[in-house]
Structure 1
Amino acid sequence: MISAELTVIPIGTPGSSLSKYVAAALAALDEAEIKYQLSGMGTLLEAENPDELFCAIKIAHEAVFKAGSQRVVTSVKIDDRRDRQRTMADKVHSVEKKLG
């Protein structure tokens, strides 16, 4: 399992709200059928392999252009652990157990 934190930022939008662009990126991820979790500062993705992950990132990036942005900055942080299968939920649960 490979996971990533994705942030897609449209540049030069007419207003300060970005939710229209985030919604477009998430709708594209829905079509790509990749597991994701939205947060207030980005989106966590979970894929079976790097090809699936990179395809989803590209789809989200391009969706922001299709939503009307003329410039897009995309930031990705990837966690690719190959010694064991860990989901996003597993990682959170592991920390919560240590908190008591």
Structure 2
Amino acid sequence: MSRAESALRQWASSVADNDADAARWVQAQQQGWAARDRFGFAVLEAQPDSAPEQLVGNVVLKDVTSGKPAAEVGCWTAAHARGRGVAPRALEALTN
């Protein structure tokens, strides 16, 4: 495991090592949307030749409270997409 991957696992609130972990993660995202306090988005990259989009990261607006003037932003980038400006572009899209 790379140093960047170790750091991501250290700071991430959850890690999906298998299908059950991934299903729990998706369910937590759905619960955040339903509660209107956490809004997560997949960051996808278009592929050539009409291939399906590829997951390259995630960006989330969290700790959202009505009347509160601030919230927290988090993001991660998949190892194969790091160093290409994915996270800054995702954060810009989220905050504009």
Q: Work out whether the TM-score is over 0.5.
A: no
- What TM-score, normalized to structure 2? 0.32
Q: Which gives a bigger RCO, structure 1 or 2 (Cα 8 Å, sep 6+)?
A: 1
